[in-house]
A and B are shown apart, each in its own frame.
Chain A
Amino acid sequence: MLDPTTHPDSAIGRVETKNTTCYMCACRCGIRVTLRDGEIRHIEGNPEHPLNKGVICAKGASGIMKQYSPARLTKPLLRKEGAERGSSEFEEISWERAFDIMEERLGNLRATDPKKFALFTGRDQMQALTGMFAKQYGTPNYAAHGGFCSVNMAAGMIYSIGGSFWEFGGPDLERSKLFIMIGTAEDHHSNPMKMELSKFKRHGGRFITINPVRTGYSAIADEWVPIKPGTDGALLLAICNELISQGLFDRDFLVQYTNAAELVIQDEARDDDGLFYRAEMHVEEGCFDPENKLWWDRELDVAMSTRTPGSDPYLLGEFTLDDGTKVKPSFQLLKDRLAEYTPEWAEGITGIPVETIKRLAHEMGVVARDQKIELPIQWTDCWGNEHDKVVGSPVSFHAMRGLAAHSNGFHTIRALSVLMTLLGTIDTPGGFRHKAPFPRPIPPCPKPPKGPEAVQPNTPLDGMPLGWPKDPDDLFVDGDGEPVRIDKAFSWEYPLSVHGLMQNAITNAWRGDPYKIDTLMLFMANMAWNSSMNTAKVREMLVDKDENGDYKIPFIIVADAFQSETVAFGDLVLPDTTYLERHDTISMLDRPISEYDGPVDSVRIPVVPPKGDCKPFQEVIVELGSRLKLPAFTNEDGSRKFRDYPDLITNFETSPGSGIGFLAGWRGKAGEKSLKGEPNPRQWEMYAKNNCVFHYELPLSYQYMRNWNKGYLEWARAHGLVRYAEPINLHLYSEVMQKFRLAAQGKRPGKQPPERLRNRVEQFFDPLPFYHETLEAQQVDTQEYPLNALTQRPMAMYHSWDSQNAWLRQIHTHNYLMVNPKLGRAQGFDDGDWVWVESPWGKVRCMARYSESVEPGTVWTWNAIGKASGAWALDPDANESQKGFLLNHLITEELPPSEAGEHLSNSDPVTGQAAWFDVRVKVYKAEEGEPEVSFPQFKPQHTLPGQPGKRGKWQVYFAGMFNRKKSA
């Protein structure tokens, strides 16, 4: 062999290096792709990228295997004449034919009844574009995957503090001293979280994890607090109780920056019971919180306008106003609420010893009070007060799906928001910090349409497909209070379903409830497998026919880059590109990658040509929008407005002359403006020259306390991030929730819930967080099904995507059911035995693995490693389908019938967040002689036309040689 030190790698072939943005998960790290003779040599983290600063994860470093995956789709496919849907019998067609089919079908629907076209997208990062397309088309039936991902996390926090975790905010681990991670597995926010955790630990920070399972991030925690799933709300409320009773809360913060001292009407006989008492004064119209409320001054012992200079209010007490109105500060109501939520009470529910609960509260409270950080940063608040420092309490939190994916998740996350607020850690150093465009008003301004009249033929939708209701009149319901959307979002069943309920779209469309649709378009969503609950039944629905022999869902279009389980169910299949083959924007209009210090957005730029005839889905949208002559895609003379997706990105403005488009960087004619400015014809070039990323660093005085930071808010308004430069006071007490409750109580004019839902809305629209058992646990026999079953996403896999990846699948080839040995021994099965896992809704057979890292009442498995036989270009006997299994078969998408409805979604009753983690199961040993194969099994999928050929026994990847010598 040649001496490696004298023969550099760069001499082996022709080398090029290009920058773009990763998409092996939703983290969106900057990457540098090196090509050798046109093939990918290696993919590295870009050291000059603000998000990942050069690092990359297991998925990102395996991008090569995704690019050259045999599961790639390369041809548009049409289900063969006479072939049954789901049988994978397709013919290759041209893109021209595919567009003709869609143009005719979607054109007719648009001219007659646009809601019969439904567009649901999965883990895409282009909701700004797909949402705009849906609105322009005029269908209300659009959502992305948030309903089954983490909408509770978004809604619970945004309705409380005007921001949320992940893209929209996070823990400031650089300055934090105590970090509590609760309900977070291995994923969001991936690389930045790993980088920050390691620095945090090395700086001597204390890291506590609260989770039923100890893996991944939790493995390196200083303390693991195991908790029973679905009981996080009880823990958080008990900690709040202890903080208040010990006087460990931040009174000054509560008084100035929250509604804690504001007086709430206390008179059940009145229609405005539970609302803030509002004094008569001139109030500007707008979607912000008018400051016409009162508090009770301690010095003068009278009611006074909130935040009157020199006034200091009571947080506790009950008072009578001059007009006889009985009132209490909302903090008093919170204290009253918390009275029953003692640490002793929470111990029995969470399984966490009372001493631990108290200690957690004391650690949080004492660190927050005694280790305050003061940064010498001058800033001015919205009331005109000058500050010569920013003060922070260095206690921070991060939470994700462990809190969100329960039917009590919204209130759990409200409780977390209240806890963070009590500690005074909102947008402060060492605490939670926002990322642009957040903070936004509570709730943000965009609203869903108001009723069926918003949907008209050949007309854009009147309203946003997804928005933020502020009161019942913002619901999207008909005259009877019933849903207008196919997924029933923004109806009285799930009023604050701000991300939609994709998880119920297929079941509802199949049943024709609330109506039948014609065409269902799915982009990058594996709804025939791991993205649906009750998967086997959903697969039947997709092929079910009516009495005339027609499919109940008449036409299904699937756009995907790979041969997923769902592709088999398409009537028309559109081959998408990989992330390395296309332009993309990580947009401020969608889910940008902002940093704490300012807005950041980024792009993808193709580094290799598209494989076969695959086409970026963005181009499909632009082409369809142009063919259908949707207004935003069409000039006044009827001609096509945008040549292609890059052209649209360069020239699109949210309204003519708004200066706001998909990308915030290098706007203005010569690229001299940021965030807002005229389209710049050379914008893509400038991104390409700058590592594909734009980072606007705010001045230090705008980086903290942004809910109330006058300079920041005025800057944000001037640059189009927010509509008002008004303070965004924190909703310790949620008047928004109370308005829905009053409607349910018949105390509010305007939209009324259907009778069957009045009790449900009244119960769950509580203005203060409360704990309740999950809906499923209330309805099933928890003695019969004593265990909680969970899934987690492993760090080396992104949902269903990576079993096709020859390297990553060697890390997780199949999944086990992880069980505490105590449980196994009690049930008579051993490590490695085949077992049945049974819920009231179904059963699966799988292999058990003993683990001491799981609390004994919980069993869990890795998500989406189990595959349908033959999918993802795996051999029919691959481990993923034969030993791997999908927990989804055990989870129901609908609750059993109740007085509130026959077909309510198995979701949070406030937000419609899919309650994946509510499922209850029992586990028992499989019988001797049963086949050692996971159950259920499905008829193997076969390879599609245009898929690259099989690779054979060996795959030998060497960049520059691979396509010449693919297999041996």
Chain B
Amino acid sequence: MTQLALVIDLNVCVGCHACVTSCKEWNTSGWAGPMADEEPYGKDPSGTFFNRVQMYEVGEFPATETVHFPKSCLHCEEPPCVPVCPTGASYKREDNGVVLVDYDKCIGCKYCSWSCPYGVRELDEYQKVMKKCTLCIDRISDETKPEAERKPACVLSCPTSARLFGDVHDPDSEVSVAIRENAGYQLMPEWGTKPANHYLPRRKTRIQIFEDELIRADNPLKKEEAVGEIIGDTIDDVAM
């Protein structure tokens, strides 16, 4: 069975929020829209987003890491939000593993958001239904689009290509290779939810300079040493 998912590379994410607004832009006018904004120009604006970037600081100055952490529905293989739904609005597609909400069936009871350990389900306060990432289901399945564009909006927009998209069940897919080769991990695997989305950790590149690399045959200062004039006698002048 296909399991579509995102793999998010924290090694290159600079926290630019392109994924956040390109998601909103695609989805507000799409199948999962609209995504309303409360007090759009007033005090404490608050709207529906399927994807948010959280920023964390790790460690104490000066050993600080600043981590940008994009978070959206992880499309779990064992999604706790599905069995708790009293109306069947919350479901997991069999063809590609995407977890969706049918707004026509949703009664806004929030059971699913309570059951989600990742906090990625947000009630749309305007329509009073639960909304969340669909992996741009209406985009990735739109055969009128060229294949290269049948990807979630966040993936296409990401300037650092920190977001990879594909089938994590296909061992040869780009996402499976990335997970395998770069120590990709799931969030809170102990919950048994088997999140399909994975994250790739930070990786550091260092350069080791050895002392002997600083004592150089090609040291250009050698060329600046003028041939000194010979002052006084040499043995050559005086020896028999």
Q: Which residues of A contact B (CB under 8 A)?
A: 1-2, 4-5, 7-10, 12, 36, 41-45, 47, 52, 54-62, 64, 70, 178, 186, 190-191, 194-195, 197-198, 201-202, 204-207, 214-220, 222, 224, 226, 246-251, 298, 312, 314-317, 359, 362-363, 366-367, 369-370, 795-796, 804, 806-811, 813, 820, 822, 851-856, 873-875, 877-879, 882, 950-951, 953-960, 968
Contacts and interface: CB of A to CB of B under 8 A. Distances in A.
B18 A811 contact: no
Contact of B34 (A4, A198, A363, A956): A956
Interface of B: 11-18, 20-22, 24-26, 28-47, 49, 57, 59-62, 64-68, 95, 100, 102-104, 126, 134, 137-139, 141-144, 148, 153, 156-162, 202-207, 209, 213-214, 216, 218-224, 226
Contacts of A214: 64, 66
A953 B15 contact: no
B158 A219 contact: no
Contacts of B22: 44, 56, 58, 61
Contacts of A197: 12, 14, 160
Given A5-B137, A958-B33, A809 B14 contact: no
A810 B36 CA distance: 12
Contacts of A804: 41
Given A7-B138, A852-B59, 8 more contacts: A1-B104, A55-B18, A61-B18, A198-B160, A219-B15, A219-B66, A247-B220, A314-B223
Contacts of B47: 806-807, 810
Contacts of B17: 57-58, 795-796, 811
B62 A247 contact: no
B29 A960 contact: yes
Contacts of A41: 29
A178 B26 CA distance: 38
B38 A70 contact: no
Contacts of B36: 954-956
A511 to B, nearest CB: 38
B221 to A, nearest CB: 4
A705 to B, nearest CB: 20
Contacts, number: 273
Nearest to A811: B17
5 contacts: A9-B139, A58-B22, A178-B207, A219-B15, A856-B61
A173 to B, nearest CB: 12
Contacts of B35: 957
Contact of B41 (A47, A198, A205, A874): A874
A57 B16 contact: yes
Contacts of A878: 41-43
Contacts of B224: 314-317
A610 B126 CA distance: 31
B18 A954 contact: no
A906 to B, nearest CB: 30
B43 A877 contact: yes
Interface centre among B36, B144, B159, B221 (most CB of A within 10 A): B159
Given A10-B144, A43-B25, A875 B221 contact: no
B16 A953 contact: no
B142 A8 contact: yes
Contact of B12 (A220, A251, A877): A220
A957 B28 contact: yes
Most central of A5, A12, A250, A813 by chain B CB within 10 Å: A5
Contacts of B202: 220
Nearest to A960: B29
Contacts of A44: 22, 153, 156-157
A55 to B, nearest CB: 4
A810 B31 CA distance: 23
A931 to B, nearest CB: 16
Question: Which residue among B44, B49, B206 has the maximum number of chain A CB atoms within 10 Å of its CB?
Answer: B44
B220 A58 contact: no
A748 B21 CA distance: 59
B9 to A, nearest CB: 8
A218 B15 CA distance: 11
A42 B209 contact: no
Nearest to A959: B29
